[in-house]
Structure formats: C-alpha cells, structure tokens
C-alpha cells in the first residue's frame, strides 16, 4: 500500500467519531416509525447507522485509503450552536433529551435517547473539519457526520436533521474572517435549512441541486423553486436548481457546468463547502435522480477545479443523506476520487448502469439559466440600475 501523500492538496482529512452511531431512529414502515401490524418485516429507518458504518469502512479499506488521514471529531458546545440556531430551539432540543422518552420533532424525525449526543458530535465534528482548513493544517476536509443537518433551520428540525452541521461550520469560517463562502449542496433534497440560515446574507452563496419535491409541510415550508433567491442583501445569493426525476450523470454535469461554475466564478469564494448526499444516486430509496459513481466523480472533479481556482484549494465536504447501504458508500468513494482529481477511477461501479434523459435535463437547465439572466444579479449586465445592490465582488 502506498504511503500517505504528503501534499495537503492530495490528501483528505476525514473527521469522524463513532459516538454518532448511537442515534437510532428505530424501525417502521419506511421512515414513519409506524407498525400497522400486517407486515412481518419492518425496516430500519433510512437514516440508520449501517449506512455510515459502510462509508467509514470503504474509506478505511477501499483503494482510496492511502489518500485519507483520519481525525477524531468532538461534541459541539451549546454556545457554538447559537451561531446558527436560536436559543429557544436549542432549549427545546435539550428539554426533549432530558425528558428521555424520545420525541417526534416532525415527520420521520425522532430524537431518541442517544440522538442528542450524536447531534452534538455531528456539529462539533463539522466544526473541527472546518477549523482544520482555517488553521492551514489541510486543504480538503470531510466531515463524515450523522444525523444529517441541511434541513435543520435556525428555529426548527426537519427531514431527519436536528442541527445544521454545514451551516454552523460556515458560520465559523465567517467569524474567522472569511468574507465569501459558497455552499454547493448535491443531496437529492433541497438544502432548505442552510438556505434559510443565510437567506439575508451576501457573504454566503448557497446553491442547491435537488429533486423537484417542493414543500413537504410545516417543517419544510420552502419550495426549493428557482424563485427562492434570497432577500434583502441576500437577494441573488440563494440559487436553487430543481432537476427532473431521472436527470442522471450527464444532466448533473450540464447543470454544474452551465449554472454552478458560472455563479461560483462570479462570487469568487474564499472558502468552498460541498454538501454531499448519495441519495441522488440511481438506487436510493429516497431519491430519483439516477446519478452513478461516475456522475459523483465528475461533480467532485468540477468542485475541486473551482476550489483550486478560487479558494486556494480550500474545500470542506459535509455528509448529509444517502440511504442505500451499499451504493452510498461506493458513491462517496467516487466523489472523493473526483475531489482528489485522480487520473483514473480507483473503483468500478458494482451495480448496473441506469438510463437517463439528457434532453429533459438540458431543457430544464437552460430555462433556469434564462430565469437567472432575467432576475439574478449575477447574470444581468447592469445590476446596480435594476436593484441598487452593492455587488462589490463583481467589480
């Protein structure tokens, strides 16, 4: 086995803590925790520890292992959470933990004994990964965390998420002097919590590529549509790219190159955050976007190129969803291969290829681009006349 690459650009600092395995959302009919009584086999909640055990395992035993440097995460302290969440909301979580009996915070989202400690570890581990980059120890860091975070909003839990791990890490970067941070969220669901946290800010450009699932109730009022662009100073700094079911590898590559690359180039971030979910894969129980390992690999390459160009290679990767126990691990491996910009794939795809409808994706991406050209300050020539906004990063 090769020795660990010495250059920080050819190495990924992975932050992990096994205490995160102690969050157990139980069993039921899919993610409902309900037992109607007529099924012999109830399945584990999709967000279970097995999925993450395999992610840890493939990074330790797979061919990417020589490129990985392992670090132990830590729990976040309550004051650190208040950079993103309200005190009222955090108190609600602490009280639910102290009650000790488990609590349903919203559909499919269960805070059981062990969940709060795991959540603190997820947030603290994301902070450790960001700090590693900010301190100059590494260029590329990956926070391998659960429970996930990108649906958690400043004031409420949503979609299996309690604390917004990526959002808290972004806030640390801002508080440490970074003036512009971009988050690129490729989880199959809209990163509504992260978007909400920075909706009024022009310091953070939040971009989300997702299945066009819309709002799913009071915990997730955001629609993820192209019209949710941010507000006030943040107008134009939340870019949503809802993609049709079955978009596939080439459609995602087209969306990345036509929309994400242009936006990031104009924003010129000092720090990049790639928010990953393997639930965009072809075999995920929660998603229908049909990405394969090669699609994830290409997204990794594109993001790495952007990081090298704009943020001096500084890139934080934060784990979100991804519920197929086997394929999520393989797709993670492929994403990190892409981020490392390795010349040839290290691992072949173990599952069959899936057909995709490139023409459909192209049509949608082109319509989003036209919409941005008409409305988003990034894509119109004389923004100051139309909006009177301060867009110093365009100068």
Q: Which residues are catalytic?
A: 151
Q: Which is nearer to Zn ion, 92 or 196 (CB)?
A: 196
Closest CB to Zn ion belongs to which residue?
321
Could you tell me the smallest distance in angstroms from the CB atom of residue 8 to Zn ion?
Answer: 30
Could you tell me the smallest distance in angstroms from the CB atom of residue 121 to Zn ion?
Answer: 20
Tokens at residue 154, please?
Answer: 């400043």
Stretch that binds Zn ion, among 40-48, 191-199, 269-277, 339-347 (CB under 5 A): 269-277
- Under a CB-based contact definition with an 8 Å cutoff, are residues 239 and 229 in contact? yes
Q: Between residue 310 and residue 339, which ones bind Zn ion under the rule CB under 5 A? A: 321
Could you tell me the smallest distance in angstroms from the CB atom of residue 278 to Zn ion?
Answer: 9
Could you tell me the smallest distance in angstroms from the CB atom of residue 287 to Zn ion?
Answer: 7
Could you tell me the smallest distance in angstroms from the CB atom of residue 123 to Zn ion?
Answer: 18
- When asked if residue 31 is in the footprint of Zn ion (CB under 5 A), the reply is no
Tokens at residue 108, please?
Answer: 């499919």
CA distance linking residue 230 with residue 382, whole number of Å: 19
Q: Which residues contact 155 (CB under 8 A, 6 or more apart)?
A: 85, 86, 88, 89
Q: Which is nearer to Zn ion, 173 or 188 (CB)?
A: 188
- When asked if residue 124 is in the footprint of Zn ion (CB under 5 A), the reply is no
Q: Which is nearer to Zn ion, 246 or 313 (CB)?
A: 246
Stretch that binds Zn ion, among 23-31, 81-89, 206-214, 272-280 (CB under 5 A): 272-280
CA distance linking residue 236 with residue 234, whole number of Å: 6
Q: How many binding residues for Zn ion (CB under 5 A)?
A: 6
Considering just the CA atoms, what is the radius of gyration of the chain in Å? 20
- Hey, how many other C-beta atoms are within 10 angstroms of the C-beta on 346? 17
Q: Which is nearer to Zn ion, 97 or 187 (CB)?
A: 187
Tokens 């890490």 label which residue?
169
CA distance linking residue 226 with residue 240, whole number of Å: 5
Half-sphere exposure of 161 toward its Cβ, with a 13 Å CA cutoff? 30
Q: Which is nearer to Zn ion, 232 or 285 (CB)?
A: 285
- When asked if residue 279 is in the footprint of Zn ion (CB under 5 A), the reply is yes
- Under a CB-based contact definition with an 8 Å cutoff, are residues 372 and 230 in contact? no
Site string for Zn ion, 152-191 (x = CB under 5 A): -----------------------------------xxx--
- When asked if residue 210 is in the footprint of Zn ion (CB under 5 A), the reply is no
Could you tell me the smallest distance in angstroms from the CB atom of residue 146 to Zn ion?
Answer: 12
Q: Which of 28, 167, 269, 277 binds Zn ion (CB under 5 A)?
A: 277
Q: Which is nearer to Zn ion, 286 or 311 (CB)?
A: 286
Interface residue list for Zn ion (CB under 5 A) = 187-189, 277, 279, 321
């Amino acid at each position: 086995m090769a020795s660990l690459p010495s250059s920080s650009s050819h190495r990924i600092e992975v932050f992990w803590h096994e205490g995160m395995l102690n969050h157990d959302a139980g069993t039921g009919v899919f993610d409902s925790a309900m037992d109607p009584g007529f099924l012999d086999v109830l399945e584990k909640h999709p967000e279970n520890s097995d999925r993450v055990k395999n992610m840890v395992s493939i990074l330790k035993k797979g061919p990417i292992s020589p490129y990985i440097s392992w670090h132990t995460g830590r729990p976040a302290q309550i004051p650190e959470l208040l950079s993103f969440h309200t005190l009222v909301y955090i108190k609600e979580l602490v009280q639910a933990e102290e009650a000790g009996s488990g609590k349903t915070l919203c559909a499919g989202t269960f805070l059981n004994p062990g969940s709060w400690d795991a959540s603190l570890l997820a947030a603290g581990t994301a902070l450790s990964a960001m700090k590693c980059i900010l301190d100059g120890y590494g260029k590329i860091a990956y926070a391998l965390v659960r429970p996930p975070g990108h649906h958690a909003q400043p004031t409420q839990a949503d979609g299996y998420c309690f604390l917004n791990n990526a959002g808290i890490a972004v806030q640390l970067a801002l508080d440490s002097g970074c003036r512009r941070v971009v988050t690129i969220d490729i989880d199959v669901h809209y990163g509504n919590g992260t978007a909400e946290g920075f909706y009024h800010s022009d310091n953070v450009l939040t971009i989300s590529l997702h299945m066009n699932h819309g709002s799913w109730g009071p915990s997730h009022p955001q629609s993820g549509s192209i019209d949710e662009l941010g507000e006030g100073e943040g107008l134009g700094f939340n870019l949503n790219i809802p993609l049709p079911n079955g978009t596939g590898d080439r459609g995602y590559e087209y969306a990345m190159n036509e929309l994400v690359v242009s936006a990031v180039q104009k924003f010129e971030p000092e720090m990049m955050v790639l928010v990953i979910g393997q639930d965009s894969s072809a075999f995920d129980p929660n998603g229908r976007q049909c990405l394969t390992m090669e699609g994830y690999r290409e997204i990794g390459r594109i993001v790495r190129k952007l990081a090298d160009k704009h943020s001096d290679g500084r890139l934080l990767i934060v784990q979100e969803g991804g519920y197929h126990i086997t394929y999520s691990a393989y797709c993670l491996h492929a994403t990190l291969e892409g981020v490392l910009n390795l010349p040839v794939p290290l691992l072949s795809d173990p599952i069959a290829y899936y057909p995709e409808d490139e023409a459909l994706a192209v049509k949608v991406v082109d319509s989003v681009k036209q919409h941005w050209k008409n409305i988003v300050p990034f894509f119109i020539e004389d923004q100051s006349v139309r909006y009177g906004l301060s867009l110093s990063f365009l100068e």
